[in-house]
Structure 1
């Protein structure tokens, strides 16, 4: 033991255990503090019972020797932070030439596991800028997975771990699929297989059993959980498309067949799918339903959420059914039966539907907003925001209309409970801008005395 430390122990100013710890914290060595982070021991001043630490953000910080011994963790020269502090250019070079080695060093320094955030914290600022780190990490993750020596979780918050024995990423993906017990878990596992399908060297041997499992699960879930059947079949089709060596083992189980079987339940099934999968089902409607598809699409249009309305309208347009769509829109506007989702979509896409931007549309919008307020008071819907925030919309509805109709619109807005006074004044001002002769309805002229 250092003679000066021995004297402190003998004088009772330092415990033997603390002295042993301080032996590892001689000047020039590196350490960690749970609050101040990484530092280098600058000097000992044992006459004052202190050692001085250069922390990253706290230079020349004195600490009592007993406290330092109890609260500092000595770092060996092989620790990543010590290596970085001693020879930053070498670490930068290693990060460029062997990213996996850098990650391995960091993980070993953190106790054999580390999250992406922890790895980034040790590299951003001196090794990489923030933008450089993002690019480097995206490419490095692929190398880690391909190496087979690391377990790289799908969730960013979960730690990356080193394996005792290497396993290929492809084998890891297959193991994750077989480990999944619920259809949702299997769908997630399948999507990962699809994402990394090029890593499978023997796809027929490795993935054909997975195709069979997916199809069996889809058939089993169709009656009770049809949305899962759709998700499984869409995932299967994606995998078959990317890996031509694979083939279906259930000839009759196709997306078109599923749509036909579940046609009457589509309205409840589609909202449960992700946007991408919902789009695939909607795009398959024409071929699956034949001549019935237009009628079914128009029915879906009137009972769907906003995302689906936009998809259906686009598909109808692409297949030459815009006339049928216009008739449905005209009828629902005239009858005040158009849903808020339909009207919000029409307001957003009105450039291609100028003939429908009329005073009748105003009536349909107010009727839809009244239904919304009755069903969910206090909530501002997408339609409400579109009507209030689009400063051109109301004027376009009334631009070429008779003064009497515009006057009726003013009265209806004045009496409407849908808007607060400030919003109401803003809406009325938009009408006055088009029909200035109606200003007296809002600000009556003062009578002369």
Structure 2
């Protein structure tokens, strides 16, 4: 009946005796005299007060443009109104201005007799004017209009368009990433984009959204980029975004749920490359042990000779030193002590109490306590593994001839000239708001080993960019808590 009703409404509108409201709860009106559909469309546009409503009315006018007998006279005022609204809303609502401007262009293309009343109001000029805000504007536009803006980048930005489009890729969602890739392909610049993505994978600067798109599009033109390097780039992205759960979770879930992804990555890869990737997966902190083993098993299925790395060889990987500050080491030890001396004993009592209620099959308290037991046990094992690998330091006398653990690094953006400072500390010392980062992060790894004057590529929230290292100095010495110092003495004696 829905299809019948839609057909009936079209006939009622065409008849002219009926007014069909946009809202379902409003009644259909019977007119004493017919009103042409063209007049009704113009009236609907004139009733619209908000840019969004004007845009919707304009879409209907474009759709039914053939209904206008004298379009140049009937619709020229509409063009003027649209252009005025676009210019008026550009500052506060740029996404609506873009929609109105694109609608105007569609109407001008549909009816050549119409003319613009704002000669300087073009899509290319608006893109150029909104270049600093375009990254945040695009996700708010419908996909079709978003694509048209991206297609107009060469006209708006000239030779800079590819570099700018790549920046948009780094700072936007998977839909925008996909649209940009299509634009590159349409303009014959697919090779340029492939080289840029390959470089970002190699440098671990590719964003989660880029990697999600690439994994989903891997059967097409981007097949050559689906290599073991992609998995290490994914691990770097998930580690980088672990404080932004939505981003990290989407990428992490994709890796876990796509059962063919790892097989595609390692198709034809050398066993040595697989071994290096396996090592990287073994030490990543973003997967729990059960999940990690599931992923490891997929690789070992392809390379049975690497099974020893998960069994006998895993201990060697886990024993790799982990540089941490004394203060962070003290916090981890305190957490472990609380687990062992307080939380786990309390959980044991809860299990015993719940067991006393009887009928374990219907005993919610028992099931909940047992689930908590698994969580606590897993966390205890993780902490013990981390503490086993940890090597405490106060970051005294770091080598400032190059970026190393315990140094403060100032970098300058090659494009804007803006300077930023990062403090490179231990594995557990991250504080992004204060620009204190772990040496294990993607930015930390990109900076490590470089000297003053070197230019590096850093991936940040607003996209990847090149930065020159301006200065390197020593970070403040980490104060050694008494308990950490005592523990260090015990460790030294035991050694």
Shift of 1:137: 2.6
- Report the equivalent of 1:410: 278
Q: Which residue among 227, 251, 262 is the counterpart of 1:394? A: 262
Q: Which residue among 297, 310, 319 is the counterpart of 2:165? A: 297
Distance, in Å, in 1 between the alignment partners of 2:6 and 2:289 is 52
- Report the equivalent of 1:162: 29
Which shifted more, 345-354 or 228-237? 345-354
Distance, in Å, in 2 between the alignment partners of 1:243 and 1:164 is 30
Q: Which residue among 84, 90, 95 is the counterpart of 1:222? A: 90
The answer as to whether partners of 2:102 and 2:123 remain within 8 angstroms in 1 is: yes
**Residue 370 (str. 1) matches residue 215 (str. 2):** no
Q: Which residue among 301, 304, 315 is the counterpart of 1:433? A: 301
| CA deviation profile, 1:186-240 (whole Å, cap 9, x unmatched) | 1122112222222222222221111101111112222332222211110111111
Q: Which residue among 134, 145, 163 is the counterpart of 1:266? A: 134
- Report the equivalent of 1:385: 253
Task: Tell me: higher relative CO, structure 1 or 2? Use CA pairs within 8 A at least 6 residues apart.
Answer: 2
Q: How do 1:46-445 and structure 2 match up within 5 A?
A: 133-155=1-23, 157-165=24-32, 166-351=34-219, 352-376=221-245, 380-381=249-250, 383-420=251-288, 423-442=291-310
Shift of 1:389: 2.1
User: Aligned pair count?
Assistant: 311
The answer as to whether partners of 1:217 and 1:229 remain within 8 angstroms in 2 is: yes
Structure 1: tracts of 5 or more residues without a match:
1-132
Distance, in Å, in 2 between the alignment partners of 1:207 and 1:399 is 59
Q: TM-score, normalised by structure 1?
A: 0.64
Q: Secondary structure at the match of 2:98?
A: helix
Shift of 1:324: 1.9
Q: TM-score, normalised by structure 2?
A: 0.58
Shift of 1:421: 5.1
The answer as to whether partners of 1:333 and 1:364 remain within 8 angstroms in 2 is: yes
Distance, in Å, in 1 between the alignment partners of 2:247 and 2:252 is 11
Superposed structure 1 runs of 4+ greater than 6 Å apart:
none
| CA pair 286-379 structure 1, distance change in 2 beyond 3 A | closer
Task: Tell me how large the CA RMSD over aligned residues is.
Answer: 2.4
| CA deviation profile, 1:218-272 (whole Å, cap 9, x unmatched) | 1222233222221111011111122223221112211122122222322122122
